[in-house]
Amino acid sequence: MFALKADWSQEIKKRYFTLDDYTGGEARWCPGCGDHAVLTVVQRICRDKQILPEKTVAVSGIGCSSRLPHYMGTYGFHGTHGRALTIACGIRSRRPDLDVWVATGDGDCFSIGAGHWIHAIRYNMNMVVLIFDNNVYGLTKKQMSPTSPLGFKNNTAPRGTILQPLNPLTVTLGITNVSFVAQTIDWNPAHLYATLQAAHNHRGTSFVRILQRCPVYSDEVFSDIQNDPSKILFLNHKNGIHIGDNVKRLFPTQREHDPSNMSEAYDIARNHVPVGLLYHAPQTPCYEDFSSVGRHMGIEDKMKGLNDALDQFAV
Amino acid sequence: MLNAIEGSQAIAQAVALCRPQVVSAYPITPQTHIVENLSKLVANGQFNCEFVSVESEFSAASVALGAAMTGSRAYTASASQGILLMAEVLYNISGSRVPMVMTCANRAVSAPLSIWNDQQDSMAVRDAGWIQLYCADNQEAIDTMIQAYRIAERCELPVMVCVDGFTLTHTLETLDMPEQQQVDDFLPPYHFSRTLNPQKPISVGTLVSPDYYSEARQEHHQALLDAQAEIIQADQDWGKIVGREYGGLLNIFGDADAKIGILCLGSVLGTLEAALQQGLVTEKVKLFQLRCFRPFPSHALQLACEGLTHLVVLERALSVGSGGIVSLEVAVALNYLPQPPKLYACAAGLGGRDIPLQILPKLLALTQQPPQPFQIIDLK
């Protein structure tokens, strides 16, 4: 209630946000869908960091994962197919004060939106990009996606896919100005949380590929690494993703990897199923660092610069 | 042979009967079942075709364009946002006078997001230089698909066959699927006059200076207008084989001496026919199914509307900020009649809203008043 005290000051109660404040409509993904886990972790991070809901935007394209903005109690924009990243770039370009979370999938980002994926990484605007990669088009009911494994039977390739899947990690690592590349799994909430938290802490475009189970249309694609976690390569480093030893022990295969080492990151991405931080270059300039150069200068400053330059040629 | 079959499956089988060598598509509701069925036919060896499952509608149309340029019979299908994403390529295909056929499983356009039926998508690309044929039921969709290749190849123009999403694509009907031999007789192997040929090298789609652009556009425009004869001919010739005709450009039902007419596109015709049969109105009514929207059959419409006092145009799309799309063109065409009927322009069934039988008395009630500005008549 609005009230002034005797000394004319106003008592403003500190706001505290609970998970409910970050919750929108009831999530209507299928039971067992990995998207629920990601949504919960995003909401938990928002709560734990007490991010203002009115300063948070969830942006998506089209697909199952792109329903995420509906379920967030923040601003949301459900865009068109493949355009989540461009819309997010537009939001960032004018409102750098907002916290931007992009929800996109292997179809939305690596297929129809592939062009924007490459350039959004290059722009390196400050946002968290959540890739819900279930290796299948789920919303249109089981067609192959660029990351569908070889031989995966689906409704557009009934005899199985004929192409090797795209490797989003190696592609992203190859893009100029890349600054943060991580991979995690939806079935380990602690690792998912720690990874998204690190992504959120990073200034720049944080690319997080989440291996996400679709129990309806691609339930087998991750069963191999789920049943035998030793096939997952856990990346350990003091500058990497930090989780407790009790969680670490769930990953029998581990190696040290310095996330500043690009060539090693590329080798790991190419030859393993890693979880953790593959690449991190915190000093990578963001788009606004380039675009704001000279913006503060007035016409007089510019004239002075121009005259100084011309004076070099004065006889 | 009669079969109870889903619309999408029937369309896929009809496409396969036309023997296209290249199919390129990207799934989008409600078109998905068409391409899924085509890929199954290919995978099962029942359809010898290169099925290119691409990464976007933009690519789907582009692959089909490239394939058609090599002289192949090409096919693609899409809906809604997919049609809009293809828009640039649609102009490129038609402007290059490359024949091909695509199915548009009509769906509303975002935003707000809707996966359900209206005809905003195909209407949005009405000026792209494609022939556009709208089907009232799935039997017509099958027959039109086969006719479309004949029309496309004889006119060297692309043809978009529009079928209402879900209402037709996801509905099971008892349909007569033609025999392969019947289709082969109707659609012989085709030779594209400007196929890529190193012996006779040409460039297509090159830069045209202002000296020639207008003439190129006029030729394209005239080719579409001239295509009306081929559309009528294809309907008649195919009708002789299977015993079904759809009126060529404009299908006319109801009382021939009626003074009130209702013009519609697509599957809503069935609703209006059923309402008439059930005697929901006492007035005599003439129903027009505008089967061919591009080229716009002005002359056929003028002949058909002579003697009418009132004409209601019912659409499933609108030009936002203007009103009726079809009705505007109908008004222009009928303006040349000595005594044009009073025109009533309205839309219903946007974003998948059901059009019930009671729409018929509602439409006729409009004609009791002087013509009003365009309106959406089923608003809550």
Bond prior to A31 in cis (omega within 30° of 0): no
Question: Does residue A296 form part of some domain?
Answer: no
Chain B residues inside the 8 Å CB shell of A139:
29
- Residue A111, chain B, CB below 8 Å: the answer is yes
Predicted ipTM beyond 0.90 = no
Q: Is the pLDDT assigned to residue A303 strictly greater than 80? A: yes
pLDDT at A135 over 60: yes
Indicate the pLDDT class of residue A5, thresholds 50, 70 and 90: confident
Instruction: Please identify which residue in the block is written with the tokens 């190419």.
Output: A270
Q: Taking CB atoms and an 8 Å limit, are A111 and B110 in contact across chains?
A: no
The C-alpha atoms of residue B119 and residue B108 are separated, in whole angstroms, by 6
State residue A8's pLDDT score: 78
CA separation for the pair B187, B376 (Å, rounded): 42
With respect to residue A313, please indicate whether it lies within any of the assigned structural domains.
no
* Predicted confidence band of residue A3 (pLDDT cuts 50, 70, 90): low
Position A291 in a domain:
no
pLDDT of residue A293: 84
Mark yes or no for CB contact A140/B28 under 8 Å.
yes
Report if residue A293 sits inside a domain.
Answer: no
- Give me the sign of the Cα torsion angle A303, A307, A309, A310: positive
> Distance, in angstroms, between B47 CA and closest chain A CA?
14
Output the pLDDT for position A6: 79
Q: Shortest CB distance from B55 goes to which of A62, A111, A159?
A: A111
Using a CB-CB cut-off of 8 Å, the residues of chain B touching A140 are 27-29, 32
Task: Say what percent of chain A tops pLDDT 90.
Answer: 89
Among the partner-chain residues A111, A140, A155, the one whose CB lies closest to the CB of B56 is: A111
The pLDDT of residue B197: 85
Closest partner residue to B36 (CB to CB) among A62, A146, A156 is: A156
> What average pLDDT does chain B have?
96
- 3-state SS, residue A296: coil
CB contact under 8 A, B27 and A81: no
Count how many residues are written for chain A: 315
pLDDT-derived band of residue B22, with 50, 70 and 90 as boundaries?
Answer: very high
- pLDDT of amino acid B235: 98
Model confidence at A7, in pLDDT bands (50, 70, 90)?
A: confident
Share of chain A above pLDDT 70, in %: 98
Residues 2-41 of A with CB under 8 A from B: none
Q: What integer is the mean pLDDT of B54-59?
A: 95
Return the structure tokens found at B26: 């990207």
Q: What is the mean pLDDT of residues B120-133?
A: 98
- A114 at B interface, C-beta within 8 A: yes
- What backbone phi and psi angles, to 5 degrees, belong to B297? -85, 70
Q: How many CA atoms lie within 13 A of A237 on its CB side?
A: 18
CB contact under 8 A, B53 and A156: yes
pLDDT of residue A297: 86
CB contact under 8 Å between A112 and B26, yes or no, is: yes
| pLDDT tens per residue, range A47-69 | 999 999 999 999 999 999 999 99
Mean pLDDT of B336-363: 97
Runs of H (alpha helix) within B51-173? 57-69, 80-95, 120-124, 138-155
Please tell me the distance from the alpha carbon of residue A141 to that of residue A154, in angstroms, as a whole number: 9
| Whether the predicted pLDDT of A10 surpasses 80 | no
> Mutate which of B9, B36, B85 to disrupt the A interface (most A C-beta within 10 Å)?
B36
CB distance from A70 to chain B under 8 Å?
Answer: no
Pairwise CA distance, residues A34 & B125, whole Å: 38
CA distance A297 to A305: 10
Q: How far apart are CA A306 and CA A258, in angstroms?
A: 45
B57 within 8 A of B63, measured Cβ to Cβ: no
**Best mutation site among B23, B34, B55 for testing chain A: the one with the most A CBs within 10 Å?**
B55
C-alpha distances in Å from residue B118, one per residue of A159, B123, B193: 34, 10, 37
Q: What is the pLDDT of residues B176-227, one digit of tens each?
A: 999 999 999 999 999 998 888 888 888 888 899 999 999 999 999 999 999 9
In A, which residues are within 8 Å of B113 by CB distance?
A: 78
What pLDDT does A294 receive?
A: 82
Separation of alpha carbons A16 and A18, rounded Å: 7
Helix (DSSP H) and strand (DSSP E) numbers for chain A:
12, 11
List the structure tokens of A73.
């109690």
Give the one of B43, B81, B85 whose C-beta lies nearest to A159's C-beta.
B43
Residue A37: give the domain boundaries: 17-286
Mean model confidence pLDDT for chain A: 94
**pLDDT of res. B270:** 97
pLDDT > 90? residue A285: yes
Alpha helices in chain A (DSSP H): 35-48, 68-71, 84-94, 106-107, 114-123, 168-173, 189-201, 223-227, 245-248, 262-271, 287-291, 299-311
Residue A247 resides in a domain? yes
For A157, the closest of B28, B39, B55 (CB atoms) is B39
- Contact list in B for residue A146 (CB cut-off 8 A) is 55
Q: Which residue of B has its CA nearest to A145?
A: B55
What's the mean pLDDT in A188-203? 98
8 Å CB contact of B56 and A112: yes
**Residue A302 resides in a domain:** no
A9: confidence class by pLDDT, cuts 50, 70, 90: confident
Among residues A127, A29, A130, the alpha carbon closest in space to that of A70 is found at: A29
Is B56 within 8 Å of A141 when comparing Cβ atoms?
A: no
For residue A289, the number of C-alpha atoms closer than 13 Å in the C-beta half-sphere is 12
- Distance in Å, alpha carbon of A249 to nearest chain B alpha carbon: 39
Q: Are A158 and B40 in contact (CB < 8 Å)?
A: yes
pLDDT value at residue A151? 96
- Specify the pTM: 0.91
- Identify all chain B residues contacting A155, using CB atoms and an 8 Å cutoff: 27, 32, 36, 39-40
Contacts of A80 in chain B (CB under 8 A): 81, 110
Evaluate if residue B83 carries a pLDDT over 90. Answer: yes
Closest CA–CA distance from residue A261 to any residue of chain B (Å) = 32
pLDDT band at A291 (very low <50, low <70, confident <90, very high): confident
Mutate to test the interface with A, among B56, B78, B114 (most CBs of A within 10 A): B56
Give percent above pLDDT 90 in chain B: 94
Residue A2: what pLDDT? Answer: 58
C-alpha to C-alpha distance for B94 and A17, rounded to whole angstroms: 56
Q: Which residues of A touch B27 (CB under 8 A)?
A: 137, 140, 143, 155-156
Residues 6+ apart with CB under 8 A from B353: B116, B378
Task: Please give, rounded to a whole number of angstroms, the shortest distance from the CA of B182 to a CA of chain A.
Answer: 28
Contact of A69 with chain B, judged by CB distance below 8 Å, is answered with no
Residue A5 placed within a domain: no
Please classify residue B351 by burial: count the beta carbons closer than 10 Å to its beta carbon, then call 0-12 exposed, 13-18 middle and 19+ buried.
middle
Q: Are B286 and B253 in contact (CB under 8 A)?
A: yes
- For chain B, which domains are there? 2-242 (3.40.50.970), 250-376 (3.40.50.920)
Model confidence at A1: pLDDT above 60? no
Residue B294 β-bridge partners: B132
- Please tell me the total count of domains within chain A: 1
Report d(CA B248, CA B131) in Å as an integer: 13
Instruction: Classify residue B316 by its DSSP letter.
Output: S
B56 min Cα distance to partner chain A (Å): 5
Distance from CA of A150 to the nearest CA of B (A): 14
Say which residues have a Cβ less than 8 Å from residue B330's Cβ, sequence separation at least 6: B263, B301, B311, B313, B343
Best residue in B24, B26, B29, B62 for a mutation probing chain A (most A CBs within 10 Å) = B26
Q: What is the pLDDT of residue B106?
A: 98
Residue in chain A nearest B39 by alpha carbon: A156
Closest residue on chain A to B38 (Cα): A156
CATH number at residue A190: 3.40.50.970
In a domain? residue A193: yes
